[in-house]
Structure 1
Amino acid sequence: MMITCAVVGFGWWGQHISRILKDLDEIKIVCVVEPDIQKRSHVESLGLKYENDYADALSQYSIDAVILTSPNDKHDEQIALAANKGIHVYCEKPLSLTANGAQFSIATCKQNNVVLAIGHERRFEPGIQIIKEMITSSQLGTLMHGEFAFSHQKLASLPTTSWRTKKQYAPAGAMTQMGIHLTDLMIWFFGPVETVHAITADRSLGWETGDLTSVHFQFESGATATLQAILNTPNYIRTFVSGTDAWVEVKNSSHPDTPGGIVSIQKLDKHGTKTEEELQWSDAVKANLLAFFQAILGHADYPFSEFELMHNIDVLEAIIKSSETKTSVKVHATKLE
Structure 2
Amino acid sequence: MAEPVHVGIVGLGRWARVLTRAAKKSNAIKIVAGFSRSEEKREAFTRDTGIPTTSDLKSLLADPSIKGVILTVPNEQHLPVAAEVAKAGKHVYTEKPIASTLEDGLAIAALEKEHGITVTVGHSARLMAGVRRIREAIDAGELGRVALIEANFSNERALELTPQTWRWYKHRAPGGPLSQLAIHMFDLVHYIGGEISEASSIASKLSPVGAEVDDQSLTLLKFKDGKVAYVGSSWTSPGIFSLRVFGAKGLMHYEIDFGVWDTPDEIHKSSSLYIQRGKDGFGKREVLQDSESDMFRIELELFAESCRSGKGNELSADNGNVAVACVYAALQSIDSNGQLVKLADVMAAARARAGEGDRHVA
Q: TM-score, normalised by structure 1?
A: 0.89
- 2:253 touches 2:274 (CA, 8 Å); kept in 1? yes
Counterparts of 1:228 and 1:12, CA distance in 2: 26
1:270 is the counterpart of 2:278: yes
- Match of 2:319, as an amino acid? E
Counterparts of 2:261 and 2:290, CA distance in 1: 14
- 1:256 touches 1:283 (CA, 8 Å); kept in 2? no
Following TM superposition, by how much is the alpha carbon of 1:72 offset from its aligned partner in structure 2, in angstroms?
0.8
Counterparts of 1:21 and 1:233, CA distance in 2: 31
- 1:166 touches 1:208 (CA, 8 Å); kept in 2? yes
Q: Identify the residue that residue 235 of structure 1 maps to in structure 2.
A: 239
Counterparts of 2:44 and 2:201, CA distance in 1: 38
Counterparts of 1:105 and 1:297, CA distance in 2: 20
Counterparts of 2:123 and 2:330, CA distance in 1: 18
Counterparts of 1:184 and 1:228, CA distance in 2: 13
Following TM superposition, by how much is the alpha carbon of 1:301 offset from its aligned partner in structure 2, in angstroms?
5.3
Q: Identify the residue that residue 314 of structure 1 maps to in structure 2.
A: 325
Q: Identify the residue that residue 169 of structure 2 maps to in structure 1.
A: 166
Following TM superposition, by how much is the alpha carbon of 1:281 offset from its aligned partner in structure 2, in angstroms?
5.0
Residue number among 10, 23, 30 corresponding to 2:12 in the alignment: 10
If each structure's helix is expressed as a fraction of its own residues, which one has the higher value?
2
RMSD: 2.5
Q: Identify the residue that residue 36 of structure 1 maps to in structure 2.
A: 38
Extract unaligned runs of 5+ from structure 1: none
Encode CA deviations 1:251-307: one digit per residue, 9 max, x unaligned: 112443135342211111224263112325532111111121122222985224554
Encode CA deviations 1:119-168: one digit per residue, 9 max, x unaligned: 11111111000111122222222221111011224685454322233221
If each structure's strand is expressed as a fraction of its own residues, which one has the higher value?
1
- 2:11 touches 2:72 (CA, 8 Å); kept in 1? yes
- SS of alignment partner, residue 303 of structure 1: coil
Match runs of 1:39-188 below 5 Å? 39-46=41-48, 47-55=50-58, 57-59=60-62, 62-153=65-156, 157=160, 159-188=162-191
Counterparts of 1:51 and 1:155, CA distance in 2: 35
Extract unaligned runs of 5+ from structure 2: 352-362
- Match of 1:256, as an amino acid? W
Count of residues in Structure 1 that have an aligned counterpart in Structure 2: 336
Following TM superposition, by how much is the alpha carbon of 1:94 offset from its aligned partner in structure 2, in angstroms?
0.5
Following TM superposition, by how much is the alpha carbon of 1:117 offset from its aligned partner in structure 2, in angstroms?
0.8
- 1:256 touches 1:284 (CA, 8 Å); kept in 2? no
Q: Which has the larger radius of gyration?
A: 2
Following TM superposition, by how much is the alpha carbon of 1:201 offset from its aligned partner in structure 2, in angstroms?
3.0
- Match of 1:260, as an amino acid? E
- SS of alignment partner, residue 290 of structure 2: strand
Encode CA deviations 1:160-189: one digit per residue, 9 max, x unaligned: 322233221221111232211100011112
Residue 58 to residue 158, structure 1, CA distance change in 2 (3 Å): farther
Residue number among 318, 322, 326 corresponding to 2:337 in the alignment: 326
Counterparts of 2:52 and 2:158, CA distance in 1: 27
1:191 is the counterpart of 2:194: yes
Encode CA deviations 1:56-83: one digit per residue, 9 max, x unaligned: 5324675211111111111112222211
Counterparts of 1:139 and 1:303, CA distance in 2: 23
Which deviates the most, 64-73 or 78-87? 78-87
Counterparts of 2:291 and 2:52, CA distance in 1: 35
Q: Identify the residue that residue 218 of structure 1 maps to in structure 2.
A: 222
Residue 55 to residue 202, structure 1, CA distance change in 2 (3 Å): farther
Q: Identify the residue that residue 285 of structure 1 maps to in structure 2.
A: 296
Instruction: Tell me: higher relative CO, structure 1 or 2? Use CA pairs within 8 A at least 6 residues apart.
Output: 2
- 1:33 touches 1:54 (CA, 8 Å); kept in 2? yes
Residue number among 253, 258, 262 corresponding to 1:257 in the alignment: 262
- SS of alignment partner, residue 8 of structure 2: strand
Following TM superposition, by how much is the alpha carbon of 1:7 offset from its aligned partner in structure 2, in angstroms?
1.3
Q: TM-score, normalised by structure 2?
A: 0.84
- 1:257 touches 1:283 (CA, 8 Å); kept in 2? no
- Match of 2:252, as an amino acid? V
Counterparts of 1:145 and 1:249, CA distance in 2: 12
Aligned-pair identity (%): 25
Counterparts of 2:166 and 2:55, CA distance in 1: 19
